[in-house]
Amino acid sequence: MEKKTGILTVVSGFSGSGKGTIMKQLLEKYPDNYALSISATTRSPRPGETDGKEYFFRSTEAFEEMIKNDELLEYACYVNNYYGTPKAYVQEQLENGKDVILEIEIQGALKIKEKYPDTVLLFVTPPSFEELERRLTGRGTESEAVIRDRLCRAAEECDGVEAYDYLIVNYELDSCVEQVHSILQNEHTKIKRKESFLLEIKAALAAYSKGE
Ligand code: 5GP
């Protein structure tokens, strides 16, 4: 029987796009299909975050040791902190047939695509600039300078998006979850992902035609 290999999938998007919630729902709905990679970072945990759940929180020295030992699939510096994807877990899950989702920013995503061209890149956005502004403004408690800063960051967050494969416009959570699920299910049927299956069936047919 054909051995299923998982698809490496990268999800990026504006802060406030809802990408984290979409991925959380996708994993809850289809736990047998997907695994979420947990990144390592040198930033401090926010209230409510725990080591090994949202991130592996590491010192700069420990992170640099991981880089030196080639333990990361990619890493990037974002707002003065290191963020990186530990290699071992991703490889293990892909071999087990799960599609592994990395929720990372664009620099890291593009490095992954260069190294592993079969990666699927998804970018999540709110429906419009006005909606993004509304979501980043939050409850109206932030100063104008903070809001401006967030919107300028959003401009950087989409720099390079043309290299992505799919744009997910977040009008409504449930339909986004289904959209991501169907994109990935369709990806599995692409000819380039079926090479070993095709080789096997072609070899069997060739042997049959030769009367073996
Ligand atoms: P935050 O500090 O808000 O959790 O994350 C900041 C940014 O770092 C987000 O855009 C997030 O997607 C990105 N990020 C998280 N983990 C990784 C990673 O392993 N590699 C890269 N390149 N970016 C990451």
Taking the C-alpha atoms of residue 68 and residue 88, their distance in angstroms, rounded to an integer, is 15
- 133 CB-near residues (< 8 Å, 6+ apart): 147, 151
Give the DSSP H or E segment for 125. Answer: strand 120-125
- 185 CB-near residues (< 8 Å, 6+ apart): none
13: left (phi over 0), alpha (psi -120 to 50) or beta: left
Type of residue numbered 142: E
- Give pLDDT, residue 7: 97
- Give pLDDT, residue 24: 95
User: How many angstroms does the Cα of residue 210 sit away from the middle of ligand 1?
Assistant: 56
* pLDDT 10s digits, 162-180: 999 999 999 999 999 999 9
Task: Give the closest residue (by CA) to ligand 1 atom 12.
Answer: 104
Mean pLDDT of 154-165: 92
Asked whether 5 and 97 are in contact (CB, 8 A), the reply is yes
- Give pLDDT, residue 1: 66
Substitution site in 51, 78, 81 for ligand 1 pocket (most atoms within 8 Å of beta carbon) = 78
Closest CA to 114 of 172, 73, 55, 171: 73
- 38 CB-near residues (< 8 Å, 6+ apart): 52, 53, 54, 55, 56, 86, 89
Mean pLDDT of 105-126: 95
Answer yes or no: is pLDDT of 9 > 90.
Answer: yes
Q: Which protein residues are within 6 Å of ligand 1, measured from CB?
A: 39, 43, 74, 76, 78, 83-85, 103-105, 107-108
- Give pLDDT, residue 3: 76
Please, what are the domains in the chain?
1-33+98-212 (3.40.50.300), 38-97 (3.30.63.10)
Tell me the helices (H) and strands (E) count for the chain, helix number first.
8, 9
User: Of all atoms in ligand 1, which is nearest to the CA of residue 19?
Assistant: 12
Asked whether 85 and 37 are in contact (CB, 8 A), the reply is yes
Answer yes or no: is pLDDT of 50 > 90.
Answer: yes
* pLDDT 10s digits, 190-204: 999 998 899 999 999
- Give pLDDT, residue 139: 61
Place of tokens 């880089």: 67
User: How many angstroms does the Cα of residue 102 sit away from the middle of ligand 1?
Assistant: 9
> Does the pTM exceed 0.75?
yes
**Considering the chain, what is the average pLDDT of its residues?**
93
Is 16 or 83 the better-scoring residue by pLDDT?
83
HSE (side-chain half, CA atoms, 13 Å) at 146? 8
Asked whether 148 and 138 are in contact (CB, 8 A), the reply is no
Answer yes or no: is pLDDT of 138 > 90.
Answer: no
Task: Give the closest residue (by CA) to ligand 1 atom 3.
Answer: 15
pLDDT tier at 23, thresholds 50, 70, 90: very high
Closest CA to 62 of 75, 49, 47: 75
Task: Give the closest residue (by CA) to ligand 1 atom 1.
Answer: 43
pLDDT tier at 127, thresholds 50, 70, 90: very high
Percent residues over pLDDT 90 in the chain: 79
Residue 148: Cβ within 10 Å count: 12
pLDDT tier at 75, thresholds 50, 70, 90: very high
